[in-house]
Structure 1
């Protein structure tokens, strides 16, 4: 564990700020990029896959909220696993979170690039990472204010998509019915991919050291943010599916823009593109916050270089962790493929939440964490083969590093 001399972060965030950061992480680029690959996997069972992802996310959120109330520190499940299951499981959760969310950061940065300037997507992605790292470096309050503005813009754009498609489009309710092309495996694989778009509530828990009255605020903020997100996702997914149909949705690279275009409003497509870029910026901002705070917690325990545990004397931010995370994310975003990043991220983050649920089981509240643990494991192993293979290799590399460090 960290030493008493390690500098602490400042408690500056209230309930509204915590909910906003959670919304900024979830109601982001996930809804713009995850629907198409999920529809390709699920067939006409897309909405079932969304429901499964929501159930697993609810179990994970509930387990995380219980644990966050007991351990209101930066680090999230890294701390919970360490305290409830032992040092190795905490380390494995932290490692999975850092590598998985680094991939998520790269995916969000690339989404900004593909919507803002497709021919120079990777360069734009790197620039976005640099800019938002600078914002986070200046302190959590500035990040929360920017996230609040981004969430407002994204919700307005998503509402506009729904109104335009319902008002002018050729929506068909029959397209929402489940057909013969549905398989259990396909639905569960879609749920795993859609989980990528739900996982942002972890950001609230990882900021536990910066939230005022964390024992009350965090358990309330997590389900509120998740509930709002689920309502938004379900509405948008149903409307887009009713407009494009499953085949059209699965083949689309920009499904929300295509739904607006199909509704006979091509002039408004640019609004959706701007909304997607802003949403990705919001997700990226919150993701970098979460990864840097988990890095801070692991550095305090010397699972990562202890120099990264420094807190800026003026801004109250983990500035060295912020800079290192930003550098790594920028490097990954310069070369990564967005769909590969989504699959790998989903695998690593599902493992992270599996450990969260296992930790919550030690509290004696069994049904919800048991369902969450089984759901995380099932969705992780049913992701695309390449995602499972790469994810397993990276997690095993982290475990090997832990073993070597312990031996030394």
Structure 2
């Protein structure tokens, strides 16, 4: 249970809280707390649906498996495609975030090196990965606690900045929620590790909402503390909002610690992301939606080592070439599409299968769709194009397999 919760925390309490508050504040202004609350509600619905499905189907693959079993092969494939493609981009974003905080002029090289190192950690098994994630989560929580205390005890803090101000719009709040959802999405990592969790029917169902609840408390405290010191306009313009907040709060000595914490948080998220993407790749390779060679399990370490190495290689290439903001927007669209299919799958559960209340998957599905299309236009267009490409590949593959099957029948 502890390791499962820590993997979820390591996925959520990561670079998102250091990087997403600025763009979200730029979109929502003083409506930032509303955007955070909306993102949390959608995340709760998604987490509940995912937890019930993970308890019913405790195997690697997450919504790829749930969609396939509950809705059909196409929807399972589309969920897996959205997850693998979107989260691979997210891996690159996390690696680049660490690089920019550690060495801005050499961010791409530092990020690529981090991917290589964490892929090696993943190769040697889930226990070592969980141990390292526990250390990272502890360090990041300590840094965030210091930021909250420094801001809320500063004379520069003004609680009047929590209230709604001019320029707040529904569209801005929705876009902020979509951007902040990027930081909440890590609870799926627990579900994708279904085969490596002891007593998954009990552990996963409890670990996902527990990790989400802890994360929400932390994010709310950090968002309100930083908003109280900077205000929405300055927060929206800040490149490094948490470091800027402690400087304005009169605790400039804490800024280097915050930068180090941001880099560590990004590396923690990257480790958990590599774990989740490699397990979904394993599940899709088993069903031959991806090359079957990727389904191999290491005889000693009992991990999908080929899938992990393949994911690591792709992420290294993306980290060396990608733009971090574009990667985050693209990833957000894919993740929201993934959870929309998870909620649709949860709707089909029966009461005997521990179905959640009907309002949960309905609200989760609607929330995912609305937030996805509230993202910046470039992210929506790129994400929709990649999903369409995945659907096309599925159709071509099914057509070719049908023709091959008919040819074999004719030969017989």
Aligned to 1:308: 294
What is the distance in 2 between the residues matched to 1:176 and 1:168?
Answer: 16
Contact in 1 for aligned 2:340/2:369 (Cα 8 Å): yes
> How far off its partner does 1:167 sit?
2.3
Report the counterpart of residue 366 of structure 1 in structure 2.
Answer: 358
More off after superposition, 179-188 vs 131-140: 179-188
Cα distance between partner residues in 1 of 2:93 and 2:73: 30
Q: CA deviation at 1:127?
A: 0.3
Q: Does 1:281 align with 2:273?
A: no
The gaps in structure 1 that reach 5 residues or longer are 1-14
For the aligned residue pairs, the C-alpha RMSD in angstroms reads 0.7
2:317 corresponds to which residue? 331
Alpha-carbon deviation of 1:106?
A: 0.6
Structure 2's unaligned 5+ residue stretches are: 351-356, 401-412
Partner of 1:221: 207
Distance 2:179 2:322 in 1: 18
- The answer to whether the aligner puts 1:53 opposite 2:45 as a matched pair is no
In structure 2, distance between residues paired with 1:140 and 1:380? 32
Does residue 406 of structure 1 match 2:398? yes
For residues 157 and 387 of structure 1, do their structure 2 counterparts lie closer, same or farther at Cα, with a shift above 3 Å needed? same
Q: Is the 8 A contact 2:98 2:111 kept in 1?
A: yes
1:67-125 Cα offsets, whole Å, 9 max, x none, are 00100000000000000000000000000000110111011000100101111000000
Cα shift readout 1:327-352 (whole Å, capped 9, x = no counterpart): 00111111111111111111000000
**Does residue 198 of structure 2 align to residue 206 of structure 1?**
no
TM-score, normalised relative to structure 2: 0.95
In 2, the alpha carbon distance for the partners of 1:182 and 1:139 equals 47
Partner deviation per Cα, 1:259-312 (whole Å, 9 max, x = no partner): 011112222210000000000000000000000000000000000000000000
Change (3 A) 1:42 1:367: same
- Is the contact made by 2:281 and 2:307 (CA closer than 8 Å) also made in structure 1? yes
Separation in 1, partners of 2:338, 2:265? 24
Task: Tell me what 1:85 maps to.
Answer: 71
Q: Which residue of 1 aligns with 2:119?
A: 133
Superposed, 1:74-223 pairs within 5 Å as 74-223=60-209
1:394 aligns with 2:386: yes
* CA–CA separation in structure 1 for the residues paired with 2:316 and 2:22: 25
Q: How does 1:344-363 map to 2 (within 5 A)?
A: 344-363=330-349
Other-structure match for 1:11? none
For 1:185 and 1:250, the matched residues in 2 are separated by: 16
Secondary structure of the corresponding residue to residue 193 of structure 1 = helix
CA contact (8 A) 1:358 1:369 kept: yes
Alpha-carbon distance in 2 for matches of 1:283, 1:377: 25
Quick one: which of 375, 378, 381 aligns to 2:370? 378
Distance 1:227 1:169 in 2: 30
Q: How many Å separate the matches in 1 of 2:136 and 2:155?
A: 27
Could you tell me how far apart the structure 2 residues matched to 1:198 and 1:158 are? 16
Task: Confirm or deny that 1:34 pairs with 2:34.
Answer: no
387-396 or 259-268, which deviates more: 259-268
C-alpha contact 1:39 1:46 (8 A) present in aligned 2: yes
4+ aligned runs moved over 6 Å, structure 1? none
Deviation at 1:169, TM superposition (A): 4.6
Tell me if structure 1 keeps the 8 A contact 2:151–2:228. no
TM-score, structure 1 normalization = 0.96
Q: Deviation string for 1:346-396 (max 9, x for gaps)?
A: 100000000000000001541100000000000001110000000011111
1:240 corresponding residue in structure 2: 226
Larger Rg: 2
Contact 1:169 1:262 in 2 (8 A): no
Change in 2 beyond 3 A, CA 1:256/1:169: farther
Q: Whole-Å Cα distance in 2 between the matches of residues 112 and 266 of structure 1?
A: 21
Structure 2 CA distance, aligned partners of 1:366 and 1:334? 44
Equivalent position SS for 2:127: helix
Distance between the aligned counterparts of 2:89 and 2:158, measured in 1? 36
Write the distance in 1 (CA, Å) between the matches of 2:369 and 2:116: 34
For the residue of structure 1 that corresponds to 2:183, the secondary structure is coil
